Structure 1
């Protein structure tokens, strides 16, 4: 008997050349995997003990009916939850977009309304300015007519008085009157210019809104006068500079000119 720990020897096959029996038909080759499993079985089977205890078969525990887990139901609920969250986000997005569109429409309406109000205010101011200019022109014409009428009456009186005087004394008076008339004409021009620039306010009958508009009008007028003054001062400064440059050129040219005569250069006679 072989040793329990050693595999039994395989029986020898007789040599076919010296055997009198007919050789059997060739068998199909055994697969390598089955041949390896058979050899392992032949090696390890004798190592196992001869008597082994009986082991009961393993039985999986029974899960009660109420505690069974339905993975399909869990997946379905998760999909429903995700779909609900997505639908909520979509609703919130469209609600926010609708709100923004309403705010944009309201903003456009406010802009259009404000633009219309400004156009109406500008039209009202233009009409008021036109009326004021017409009133000023009418007042100016009336004053000029009164002044012309008054001057004509004064000239008629003066001519009548001068016609009654003597020739010599009358001629002297005529010259003096002419000089005084020139001075009076300059004074009248100055008064006329001041009366044109110094406009009466006439604010007794105005309300609060009209006073506010009048104050805005005076403020704009002051800004305009300041701008004109600045332009005139700059123009005067430029003209003075050009005059000084021309004087210097003339003076420099006359220094090198032969036989230069006397002339006024730079405010002096040379």
Structure 2
């Protein structure tokens, strides 16, 4: 109420001031008259009843208690939230550790299974190799036994056939086969392991490489000889073409 009255009073003062300035601008003698004072109503201060006096200390104390209660509730909520987050963090760490342990266990079991599988494959391969070697030895023993029996009965016949073969003249195809058989060794790779096969393949590759090198050298030498032969033939042809004919003479007991 007091604020409203003060505001009206200030508004009245400003209005009277504006009116006075306007009249001074209209009439030059107006400023000689004293200004009129605004009428301000007389206001009485509010009375506080004696029976209901205000206790400002009690109001301040209640406000402090209220603020303290709100602060305590905020603190409790904060610590509850923090406790909940810590519990969630501990649970997350436990789950991560559990998953890590389970993953390590799965990898260990998988590695053991793979190791067992590789061992079974190696054992099976070794068993097959042993069986093949045993079978080969048995076959060779049987062949030797059969040949020994045949040699006892047909030794003379084989010797005669060998003598006849030695006296027989070989054809070009037979000579080629014999030469290839001497140059090309028989490959016994049935019972070889992987490292032995690799070594055998490397030796064969080196041998083929050497043959190709020799072949290239022979072809190059043949080309050079062919070129030299052609050059010599051309020279002979040119010499015979441009040879001068001389008179007849006695050469070797005959007249030319």
TM-score bracket, shorter-length normalisation: 0.3 to 0.5
TM-score, normalised on structure 1? 0.42
TM-score, normalised on structure 2? 0.44
| Structure with the higher helix share, 1 or 2 | 2
